[in-house]
Structure 1
Amino acid sequence: MTLQAKLDAFKADFEAGKPPYNVPPSVIETMHRATAELIASGAAQRALKAGDKAPDFTLGDPDGNPVSSATLLAAGPLVVSFYRGVWCPYCNMELQALQAALPDFRALGANLVAISPQTPVNSRKSVRQNGLDFPILSDPRNDVAAAFGLRFELPAYLIELYQGLKNDLPAFNGDPSWTLPMPARYVIAQDGTILYAEVNPDYTRRPEPEDMLPAIRQASKIAA
């Protein structure tokens, strides 16, 4: 089953209010409204695209060790995935799919990192819960996400909904700002050029990991 098929199946059960979710229709309507407004804002079109230069970044892993994009790029192409956090089931399914594709990335000489605004404690939970073998990095205040054009502020009505669902982003992220990154996937060549970019303001839609393989192969040829 493809990643998107798994996401679609989860979404269908969640929005139907099947146990254990039991979500009322009003919650689904609010989530749909927020997604539609983010799509209509054009934010995704303003994010970095293929052909742009990726910003350098250094972020901490779950143990507090600094991980530098420059160091990773010195070793080969870099795959970067921005995700919302361990509380997001769609993100967890995506991380699992990336883990399954990791041998293919590494066979082409590429490294993979995933970036979220959550605290290191929650990043450790992401690693443990999803059985990950690649770095999960914490992006305080979504500053790196902002450099890629991905950061957005949640509208007040969505903050109220999240609070009602006990989804306390300030606690997850150690940051009171109520911002998130739009889910995004990038392939960056060793010279910092973005060869692949997929940004989707609809968090229930994610590209397949294998969609990046042509760009990774291209990056590997450039490096050679």
Structure 2
Amino acid sequence: MTLQATLDAFKADFVAGKPPYNAPPQVHVIMKRATDELIASGQAERTLKVGDKAPVFTLNDPDGNPVSSTELLAKGPLVISFYRGVWCPYCNMELQALEATLPEYQALGASLVAISPQIKANSRKSVRQNNLTFPILSDEKSQVADAFGLRFALPDYLVDLYKGFGNDLPAFNDDPAWVLPMPARFVIGQDGLIKYAEVNPDYTQRPEPTDLLPALRG
């Protein structure tokens, strides 16, 4: 089953209210409204694109070790996935699919990292629960996400919904702002230029991890 087919099946069960997803219909209306408004804002079209220079960053892994994009690119191309957090089932399914594809990336000399606004303790939980062998880097205050053009503020009505779910983003991220990155995937070449860019304001839509392979081969 493809990643998108897996996500679609999960979404169908969630919208249908199948256990353990017993959310009332109004929840889905609110979430769709927020997604539609983010799409309509056009922010996804203003993010970094193929051919742009990628921001340089050094972020800590879940154990507090600094990871430098410059050092990774000295070894080969770099695959980056922007990850909303441990609380997002769609994001976790994507990480699992990336892990399954990681040997193909590595065979082409590439490294893979996820970048998330969540604190290191939550990233350790993500790594453990998803059986990952690549790091999730802590992007404090979503600064790197902002450099890529991905950071956005949640509307008040969606904040209220998240609070009802127990998704306390300020606690998850150690950041009082209710902000997230749009899910995104990038391939950065050793020259520092973006070779592949995919950003979708609809968090339920993700590319197949193998879609990145042509950019790595190129």
**TM tier, shorter chain?**
over 0.9
Cross-structure match for 1:222: none
Which residue does 1:164 correspond to in 2?
164
Q: Name 1:65's counterpart in structure 2.
A: 65
Mapped partners of 1:50, 1:169: distance in 2: 31
Q: Distance in 1 between matches of 2:47 and 2:93?
A: 23
Runs of 4+ that moved beyond 2 A: none
* Amino acid in structure 1 at the alignment position of 2:61: D
1:48 & 1:209 partners in 2: Cα distance? 19
- Aligned match of 1:204: 204
Distance 1:16 1:175 in 2: 33
In structure 1, what residue type is equivalent to 2:217? R
User: C-alpha displacement at 1:70, in angstroms?
Assistant: 0.2
Residue equivalent to 1:145 = 145
Residue aligning to 2:188? 188
1:127 paired with 2:127, answer: yes
**Cα distance between partner residues in 2 of 1:97 and 1:30:** 28
Aligned equivalents of 1:202 and 1:124: distance in 2?
Answer: 26
Distance 1:12 1:135 in 2: 30
Alignment match, 1:37: 37
Corresponding position of 2:22: 22
The answer for unaligned runs of 5 or more in structure 2 is none
- Once the 2 structures are TM-superposed, how far is the Cα of residue 135 of structure 1 from its aligned partner? 1.2
Identical counterparts, % of pairs: 75
Q: Which amino acid is 2:140 matched to? A: P
After TM superposition, the score normalised by the length of structure 1 is: 0.97
Three-state SS of the structure 2 residue aligned to 1:94 is helix
Task: Name the amino acid aligned to 1:74.
Answer: A
Deviation at 1:21, TM superposition (A): 0.7
In the alignment, the residues of structure 1 paired with residue 114 and residue 106 of structure 2 have an alpha-carbon distance, to the nearest angstrom, of 15
- The residue type equivalent to 1:208 in the other structure is E
Partner of 2:10: 10
Query: Residue deviations 1:111-156, cap 9 Å, x none?
Result: 0000010000000001000000011101011000000000000000
Partners of 2:171 and 2:26 in 1: how far apart? Answer: 25
**In 1, Cα distance between the equivalents of 2:157 and 2:116?**
23
Aligned to 1:161, the other structure's residue is in SS state: helix
Distance in 2 between residues matched to 1:105 and 1:162, nearest whole Å: 35
Q: Give the Cα–Cα distance (whole angstroms) in 2 for the partners of residues 141 and 125 of structure 1.
A: 20
Secondary structure at the residue paired with 1:5? helix
Cα shift at 1:83: 1.2
Q: Matches of 1:47 and 1:17 in 2, distance apart?
A: 34
Root-mean-square deviation (Å): 0.4
Q: How far 1:194 moved relative to its partner? A: 0.2
